[in-house]
Structure formats: C-alpha cells, structure tokens
Amino acid sequence: MREIFSDREVLLEFDQKQQTALLKEELTGQAVVVSGIPLDGILLKLDVDKKGYKLRSSYFNSKMTFIHKGCDYCLIMPSRQAVVFFELKSDRPKGYVDQFFASKIFMDYSFRLSGYMNCCDYDYGYVYVLFCTKNNVLLTSVSKVMQKKIENKCGKEIVVKMPGFPKGINIDKLL
C-alpha cells in the first residue's frame, strides 16, 4: 500500500521507537501527539498546503471543491485493518463532514488501486476523529471519547469521535 503514495509531501514518518506521531495544524500551530501507533502504520498528510497537492487529479474540474477536499491526516493500520482520519480544527469547526467523506472516497480508490497492483483485497474499517478546542470543555472518560453521529448532504451517516484537542492521546482510545 505504501508504494502508491508520494514520499515527498504525502507519506510521513512517525517515531517508530516511541510509536508516536505529532499531528500539527499549520495555521494555528496547535498539535497533538498520537501514541500507540502500530509499527506497520502508514501516516499520510492529505492536506498538503503546496501548489499542485490540493488538486486530486487534473482529470477533475478544479472548481468542484468537494472532489479536492481532504482531512488533515490519515493513518492506515494494516495489522488492525483500520484507517483513522484526523481533522484538526480550532473552536469553530466547519466543513469537516465533507472533508471526512471526500477522504474516505479517496482512500477507497487508493485501496482499489493498491489491491489491483498487489492482487489482494482490503477490508478496512474507517474511524473519523475531530480534534477541536471547542470540545475541550466536555469531559471524557479514561477509556472513551465523546462521539456524534453526523449526516452528509446525501443522508449518509458517520460517527465522529471528538476528544477535544488534548496534548496527547493513545490510538486505542479512538478505535
């Protein structure tokens, strides 16, 4: 799977020894450390702020913004058959529903490409995580985080995990 992604800006390294990754919102400087990442994890930055990266494909109309949306980060965990999408927002989150759905569609396509190239099928579950300072005031338990069912404009529903914007969180708490 790793081989289909660009290693210049999209494919990110994480601390293999500590099994942690620093996810950072470039506009605000806010960051969260995600721990407990499996060694086979593949971390992608889907929101690269450089020319040419916002456009998913030149085949698609650049004015159709939904097509080219994406959340901030994506963590593929083959050993857990899970994909976690991370969106980092300030206190006024908006647009994240479309970002999650567009990211899922992009990853579905990526899995199909990789599956064809490697003669295999992928059957991964998706997890959606919104890090947002607005939710910092809401208490979460040691083992669970707040979650909310959200529909897109077509009536499709996803469950978004909302742990606030902690300094650090273990991936197991989000799964």
Which range of 23-27, 62-66, 142-146 scores highest in mean pLDDT? It is 23-27
Give the bridge partners for 12, in sequence order: 43
Q: Is 79 helix (H, G, I), strand (E, B) or coil?
A: helix
Indicate the pLDDT class of residue 8, thresholds 50, 70 and 90. confident
* Alpha carbons 82 and 77: distance in angstroms, whole number: 5
Question: What mean pLDDT comes out for the span 158-168?
Answer: 94
What is the pLDDT, as a whole number, of residue 51? 59
Taking a C-beta distance cutoff of 8 angstroms, is the pair 92, 133 a contact?
no
Q: What global pTM score does this model have?
A: 0.90
Torsion, Cα of 89, 153, 49, 110 (10° steps) = 120
Taking a C-beta distance cutoff of 8 angstroms, is the pair 163, 135 a contact?
yes
**Residue 9 to residues 73, 110, 137, 172: CA-CA distances in angstroms?**
12, 17, 34, 27
Any idea where the domains of the chain sit in the sequence? 2-174
pLDDT at 14 over 80: yes
| pLDDT digit string, tens, across residues 19-63 | 999 999 877 888 999 999 999 999 999 886 655 555 556 667 767
Q: Which residue has better confidence, 55 or 157?
A: 157
| pLDDT digit string, tens, across residues 90-141 | 777 888 999 999 999 999 999 999 999 999 999 999 999 999 988 776 655 6
**Angle at the Cα of 23 from the Cα atoms of 60 and 55, rounded to 5 degrees:** 10
